[in-house]
Structure 1
Amino acid sequence: MDRTEPGHRQARLRSTPRREVGPLLREWRQRRKLSQLALALDVGVSPRHLSFVETGRSRPSAELLLSMSEHLALPLRERNDLLLAAGYAPRYSETPLESPDLQVVRSALQRLLAAHDPYPGVALDRHWNVVLANRAAERLMGLLPPHLVGPPLNMMRASLHPEGFAAATLNFEAWGRHLLHELERARAAADDPVLAALAAEVGGYPNVAAPLATATRRPTYQESLLIPCVLLSGEGRTLSLFTTQATFGSPRDITLAELTVELFYPADAATEDALRAQAI
């Protein structure tokens, strides 16, 4: 088993060519809209030294790169990229969720999702691929055509594709705009070609390209508090669901840092009754 240090599985490296650390750091600083002076003061170095790092005249220490990564709020995967670009070994492991090393975590996620039934719940990776789902979520997935089921089932694609959940989403204008905002926020926060390709794909769907530019319908009372997803189920029942999201606290592994648990809750009594009836 390959390890960078005891107790850590080696992070999987990207196949893209390695970039120079200076331009890569400058790109992240500019993406976060920070001046050299602001970042230098945050990490306790002189603006001159930071300028030398960005122009390649000075090689930063691994500790300085990690400090700057923290202040720039970089995902763990991108922190590894900075270290590799400077010639250092990656610090953060990337352990497959199905690995025996994550059995305890996987079991905890499965218990959480099972306890949430009969309400839908899923665990998603960085790209909105479903890695775990409870029975209520699997029942909703029955609305999808085979070509959107996967594997992997991508929730962003399945929710926005005109043949997917979008076809049954009664408030698609509001819900779709919310999903596109979330996708754009994630794409802007990380240098990820997969997210960029996903954003380009869903942005080209005929039901997404134009109708979501403006909102024309007056929001309901519930929508003034939060945006639910209003679905027409296979039985012809209207399901109004709102979501919560949870992540792991202080993760040191890329897989765990990129996992999100999304739990759906009934937004009204009729939806709660319908979900409980379907579970019988």
Structure 2
Amino acid sequence: MTSRPFSRTTPPTSAGAQLRHLRQQAGLSQLDCALITGLSQRHLSCIETGRAKPSPGTLHNLLTALDVPLERCNDIFLASGYAPRYETTPLTSSTMEVVRAAIDHILHANNPAPAIVLDAQWDILAANASAGVLFDLVGLAREAAEGLNLLVTLLQPGGLGDHLSNAEEIRLVAWQRASREALSNPALAEILKSLPAPHSAALANELPPLLLTRVDSSQGELRFMSTFTTFGMPLDITMSSLRIEHLIPADTRTWEVMTTAYKKTQHSH
């Protein structure tokens, strides 16, 4: 095993320095950023050096243009002397009813293809019936589809990762993505520290244009494409962290197996 591939460096503390750091991370020059946000390059320079204090509207404009996670946005608003702007509303709250309804609709519409809802820590918050079907087909408890951590079940022995034909490839891609996210997510970083790191040489030199998830099941190998749905223009930290992963069957046989198994579960109810 190798040492953990991510490290948390101490970020700049002043709002201007943080904005400069974020702009540079985004690969934008001051001129590029000024053009995108409608600010003058001189004003942006003054903000970054601390010679000018941005208004809340200007700060929001800059952070949106730089696609900064909302939780980090709150830190920068605080560093600028303003109250945090974005809330973390529980998904169970009455104000999130429309969000829950949208999620239920998407999950149901995805059948007979599996779909799961993930939060920022990769916890599975909800899953459709076909995700339970897939768990059945690999010999895992159907009820386990909800309440699991996807990263844990992929990387730890005895989980879903053990039922993938191309486990090392999927594990490496999942690890790399989670490591990037962990740079701004301490809770996820702690989860990663407890998990075995995959071998970095898992990917072949010549890769296809799309990495498929290949599942060993009681019906033979099933092949899926992975896509994600996120909420557009979220203004709440909970909503910005949610994503729905869709496992779309990648061939006719996988569609047939999933459709038949899903219909059987519907008849049994």
TM class by shorter chain equals 0.7 to 0.9
Code of the aligned partner of 2:92: E
1:228 aligns with 2:212: yes
Verify the 8 A CA contact 1:144 1:165 in the aligned structure 2: no
Q: 1: CA distance between counterparts of 2:171 and 2:30? A: 38
The corresponding residue for 1:192 is 185
The corresponding residue for 2:199 is 209
The corresponding residue for 2:259 is 276
- Scaled by the length of structure 1, the TM-score of the pair is 0.75
Q: 1: CA distance between counterparts of 2:181 and 2:134? A: 25
Match 2:127 to one of 121, 126, 133: 133
Q: Deviations over 1:126-153 (max 9, x none)?
A: 232211111221344465889xx59842
Secondary structure at the counterpart of residue 127 of structure 1:
coil
- Scaled by the length of structure 2, the TM-score of the pair is 0.78
Secondary structure at the counterpart of residue 89 of structure 1:
coil
Code of the aligned partner of 2:199: A
Q: 2: CA distance between counterparts of 1:276 and 1:150? A: 18
Code of the aligned partner of 1:80: N
Q: 1: CA distance between counterparts of 2:255 and 2:39? A: 56
Q: 1: CA distance between counterparts of 2:85 and 2:139? A: 40
Change (3 A) 1:180 1:249: same
Q: Deviations over 1:94-126 (max 9, x none)?
A: 211111111222122113212322321111122
Change (3 A) 1:66 1:96: same
The corresponding residue for 1:121 is 115
Shift of the alpha carbon at 1:180?
Answer: 3.5
Change (3 A) 1:198 1:32: farther
Q: Which runs of 5+ in 2 are unaligned?
A: 1-11, 265-269
Secondary structure at the counterpart of residue 209 of structure 1:
coil
Q: 2: CA distance between counterparts of 1:225 and 1:151? A: 30
> Within 5 Å, which residues of 2 pair with 1:28-177?
28-141=22-135, 152-177=147-172
Change (3 A) 1:32 1:197: farther
The corresponding residue for 2:247 is 264
Shift of the alpha carbon at 1:69?
Answer: 0.8
Match 2:178 to one of 160, 165, 183: 183
Change (3 A) 1:162 1:56: same
Q: 2: CA distance between counterparts of 1:253 and 1:174? A: 33
Code of the aligned partner of 1:64: T
Q: Deviations over 1:165-204 (max 9, x none)?
A: 221110224333433343345456xx222344445555x4
Instruction: Give the paired residue count.
Output: 249
Shift of the alpha carbon at 1:47?
Answer: 4.3
| Percentage of matched positions with identical amino acids | 34
Q: 2: CA distance between counterparts of 1:124 and 1:20? A: 33
Shift of the alpha carbon at 1:229?
Answer: 0.7
Secondary structure at the counterpart of residue 58 of structure 1:
coil
RMSD: 3.0
Q: Deviations over 1:46-78 (max 9, x none)?
A: 545434433334322112211211221212222
Shift of the alpha carbon at 1:261?
Answer: 1.4
Shift of the alpha carbon at 1:86?
Answer: 0.9
Code of the aligned partner of 2:185: D
